[in-house]
Amino acid sequence: MGSPEDQAYRLLKEHCHGFMVSQVLFSACELGVFDLLAEAPGPLASAEVAARLASSPRGTEQLLDACVSLKLLQVDLKPTAVYGNTELASTYLARTGPRSQQNMLLYMARTTYACWGHLAEAVREGRNQYLKAFGVPAEQLFTAIYRSEAEQLLFMRGLQEVWSVCGGSVLAAFDLSPFPLICDLGCSGALAKECVALYPACRVTVFDIPEVVQMAEKHFSFAGEERISFREGDFFTDPLPHADLYILARVLHDWSDEKCSQLLARIHHACKAGGGVLVIESLLDPDGRGPLTTQLYSLNMLVQTEGRERTAAQYRALLAPAGFPRVHCRRTGGTYDAVLARK
């Protein structure tokens, strides 16, 4: 039986080691461990994994064993140790997994992690850390993320992957069938696909800056999706498409209250009578004391954007003055929640 001090010390160590756990996961993804094991005809010995990944036998064995303890891999010890993916890895970590999150993890490993290395400075200065992490001024929110075509594609794919897990629940949180014409603002099409699948009568216009729209049209398949169309533009300055419903998924959390108000006023101007806005975000508890995941996301907004995660009341305080007074919030029980506001 440990003393209360022992418990506190164990908790402290667990918190300290959090970044090591993330790095085991990120590195195994970067090296292609989960892809190799998914494509191999059976479990592999660590020497075989090392040979195929051109990595050191020593480092590979240590990484694989840590992955076993983290339940990312399973090991069969007899007659000699051979490793295979767990169900978690087959589903979420291998690139061929039905709900693969690999691009999101690689984006976090390369961009998010670099910014979090400067969290203390972000807290001190109250602004994102793109300048220190990537040499990009803090005001240019997406320049660091879109620093090369490969990184932009990684980010876009990573964002899309989340909707393969959470898209259904956020879009079903409210009945959206009264909104035949939907505009998804700031997005590259994944949520639109979920939307047309769920609401057979709706059409969706996907609106984003030109480089995102062009990349989406080049790399993502919309074959047979005649109800989805694309429009290029800057949602702060260009005319917005007319629609019955505007989806803002993980968009408001990027921006200051002032910019959110500007954007919502522009949406109100373009929105058809009786229309509305569906805000999809991870909601903080009313007192801001949780959930921890959302608090961490909010810090992530500090190191990466000019925004923050908000409570339902804070979204209401942005939506009502912009002309959307009837605000309803639904928690989905998952990572992302839904707020529907009617004009």
Catalytic residues, by residue number, are 253
Q: Within 10 A of 287 (CB to CB), how many other CB atoms are there? A: 7
Q: How far is the CB of 67 from ligand SAM (least distance, A)?
A: 28
249 is a site residue for ligand SAM (CB under 6 A): yes
Among 61, 194, 254, 337, binds ligand SAM (CB under 6 A): 254
Given the rule CB under 6 A, which of 82-90, 197-205, 233-241, 320-328 is the region that contacts ligand SAM? 233-241
Q: Look up residue 255 and give its two tokens.
A: 């921006």
Q: Which is nearer to ligand SAM, 286 or 334 (CB)?
A: 334
Q: Which is nearer to ligand SAM, 25 or 249 (CB)?
A: 249
Q: How far is the CB of 313 from ligand SAM (least distance, A)?
A: 22
Among 251, 260, 264, 271, binds ligand SAM (CB under 6 A): 251
Cβ–Cβ under 8 Å, residues 235 and 210:
no
104 is a site residue for ligand SAM (CB under 6 A): no
Cβ–Cβ under 8 Å, residues 248 and 223:
no
Tally of CA atoms within 13 A in the half-sphere of 53 that contains its CB: 29
230 is a site residue for ligand SAM (CB under 6 A): no
**CA atoms of 236 and 298, how far apart (whole Å):** 23
87 is a site residue for ligand SAM (CB under 6 A): no
187 is a site residue for ligand SAM (CB under 6 A): yes
281 is a site residue for ligand SAM (CB under 6 A): no
Listed in sequence order, the residues at least 6 apart from 79 whose beta carbon sits closer than 8 Å to its beta carbon are none
Given the rule CB under 6 A, which of 51-59, 94-102, 121-129, 183-191 is the region that contacts ligand SAM? 183-191
**CA atoms of 92 and 76, how far apart (whole Å):** 21
DSSP string for 151-195:
HHHHHHHHHHHHHHHHHHHHHHSS--TT--EEEEES--SHHHHHH
Q: Closest by alpha carbon to 145, among 231, 100, 211? A: 211
Among 14, 121, 149, 234, binds ligand SAM (CB under 6 A): 234
Sheet of 203-208, strand order? 228-232, 203-208, 181-185, 243-249, 271-281, 337-342, 326-330
Cβ–Cβ under 8 Å, residues 281 and 275:
no
The residue sitting closest to ligand SAM, measured at its beta carbon, is: 186
Q: How far is the CB of 304 from ligand SAM (least distance, A)?
A: 9
Give the x/- contact pattern for ligand SAM in 188-227, rule: CB under 6 A. Answer: x-------------------xx--x---------------
In the chain, alpha helices (H): 4-16, 18-31, 33-39, 46-53, 57-69, 87-88, 102-107, 113-116, 119-125, 130-134, 149-172, 190-198, 210-219, 257-270, 292-304, 312-319
Given the rule CB under 6 A, which of 125-133, 172-180, 185-193, 292-300 is the region that contacts ligand SAM? 185-193
Q: How far is the CB of 252 from ligand SAM (least distance, A)?
A: 10
Q: Look up residue 84 and give its two tokens.
A: 């295979």
**CA atoms of 235 and 253, how far apart (whole Å):** 15
Q: How far is the CB of 235 from ligand SAM (least distance, A)?
A: 4
Given the rule CB under 6 A, which of 24-32, 36-44, 243-251, 322-330 is the region that contacts ligand SAM? 243-251
DSSP string for 45-78:
-HHHHHHHHT--HHHHHHHHHHHHHTTSEEEE-S
186 is a site residue for ligand SAM (CB under 6 A): yes
Instruction: Say which residue the tokens 């020497």 belong to.
Output: 47
Q: How far is the CB of 142 from ligand SAM (least distance, A)?
A: 5
Given the rule CB under 6 A, which of 36-44, 87-95, 181-189, 196-204 is the region that contacts ligand SAM? 181-189
Q: How far is the CB of 238 from ligand SAM (least distance, A)?
A: 8
Binding site for ligand SAM (CB under 6 A): 142, 159, 186-188, 208-209, 212, 234-236, 249-251, 254
